[in-house]
């Protein structure tokens, strides 16, 4: 059987794959599917599950990878993501890694196809189906949960300069699951912005993510005082990590929706 990735490339199943993952959230998923022993390389940002990944060699970051180190690991497969990894780097790696598996989840339910892609290519289909069943159960609970009125929330990912997300992102579509939208600031997926009166008047509140910028409760308190709008610190992993953490992310959304 052929398994199709985000670029439309077909991949055959390989039970003996040697895998380098440059996507932290997918590294976690691969470990949860029972593939930790076949992971020969990961980024320094691949931190989950902590007790498992510490035994997997680091090969750099998601964008600044060590090509020579990866070459010496002799992987047969490289797992990358369109948003997180640089195309020129992936092209260089493709010169000596036979199989490049490209991912690009854009909405919560894309996690089902992601798990099945990883499970299929790396011969963990049963494990992937069990994971999908857990996801579906949590998603059903989210759909049935009570939700408040629709709100427009500005989701901040960086300061100096201030940066947010567009509607064409995984995070924005996570928020849509509980009736929250983000301001329309154009086509740039992660735009910079200024705190104009027009912007502030058009939102119901602000969400400060714990990553990639490490916003804290102190930031939230100061900004709420400045804007006169509700400001909430949110767990960036729960909102942006697809793969394994998305199941917890759905549960986290239920808590946001109910204010618990």
State whether residue 143 is helix, strand or coil.
helix
What is the spatial distance between Cα 212 and Cα 241, in angstroms, rounded to a whole number?
12
What is the β-pairing status of strands 99-103 and 205-209?
unpaired
Is 7 in contact with 85 (CB distance < 8 Å)? no
**Annotation: CATH topology of 151-258:** Rossmann fold (3.40.50)
DSSP class of 145? S
CA quadruple 16, 18, 22, 27: dihedral sign? positive
* Topology match between the domains 2-141 and 151-258: yes
CA 70 to chain centre: 23
Per-residue pLDDT of the chain (260 residues), as tens digits, is 999 999 999 999 999 999 999 999 999 999 999 999 999 999 999 999 999 999 999 999 999 999 999 999 999 999 999 999 999 999 999 999 999 999 999 999 999 999 999 999 999 999 999 999 999 999 999 999 988 899 999 999 999 999 999 999 999 999 999 999 999 999 999 999 999 999 999 999 999 999 999 999 999 999 999 999 999 999 999 999 999 999 999 999 999 988 76
What is the spatial distance between Cα 23 and Cα 21, in angstroms, rounded to a whole number?
6
Domain borders along the chain are 2-141, 151-258
Query: What token pair was written down for 20?
Result: 């380098």
The pTM of this model reads 0.95
> What is the CATH architecture assignment of 2-141?
3-Layer(aba) Sandwich (3.40)
């Amino acid at each position: 059987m052929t398994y199709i990735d985000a670029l439309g490339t077909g991949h055959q199943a390989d039970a003996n794959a040697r895998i380098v993952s440059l996507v932290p959230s997918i590294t976690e998923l691969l470990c949860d599917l029972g593939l930790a022993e076949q992971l020969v390389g990961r980024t320094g940002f691949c931190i989950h599950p902590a007790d498992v990944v510490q035994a997997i060699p680091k090969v750099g970051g998601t964008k600044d990878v060590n090509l020579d180190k990866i070459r010496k690991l002799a992987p047969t497969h490289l797992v990358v993501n369109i948003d997180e990894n640089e195309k020129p780097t992936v092209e260089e790696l493709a010169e000596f890694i036979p199989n490049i598996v490209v991912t690009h989840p854009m909405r919560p339910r894309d996690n089902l196809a992601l798990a099945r892609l990883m499970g299929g290519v790396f011969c963990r289909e049963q494990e992937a189906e069990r994971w999908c069943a857990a996801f579906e159960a949590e998603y059903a609970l989210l759909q049935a949960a009570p939700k408040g009125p629709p709100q427009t929330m500005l989701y901040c990912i960086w300061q100096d300069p201030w940066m947010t997300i567009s509607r064409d992102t995984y995070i924005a579509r996570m928020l849509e699951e509980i009736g929250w939208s983000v301001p329309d600031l154009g086509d740039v997926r992660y735009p910079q912005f200024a705190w104009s009166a027009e912007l502030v008047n058009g939102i119901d509140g602000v969400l400060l993510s714990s990553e990639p910028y490490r916003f804290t409760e102190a930031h939230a308190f100061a900004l709420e005082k400045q804007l006169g709008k509700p400001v909430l610190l949110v767990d960036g992993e729960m909102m942006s990590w697809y793969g394994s953490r998305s199941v917890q992310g759905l549960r986290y959304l239920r808590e946001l929706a109910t204010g618990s």
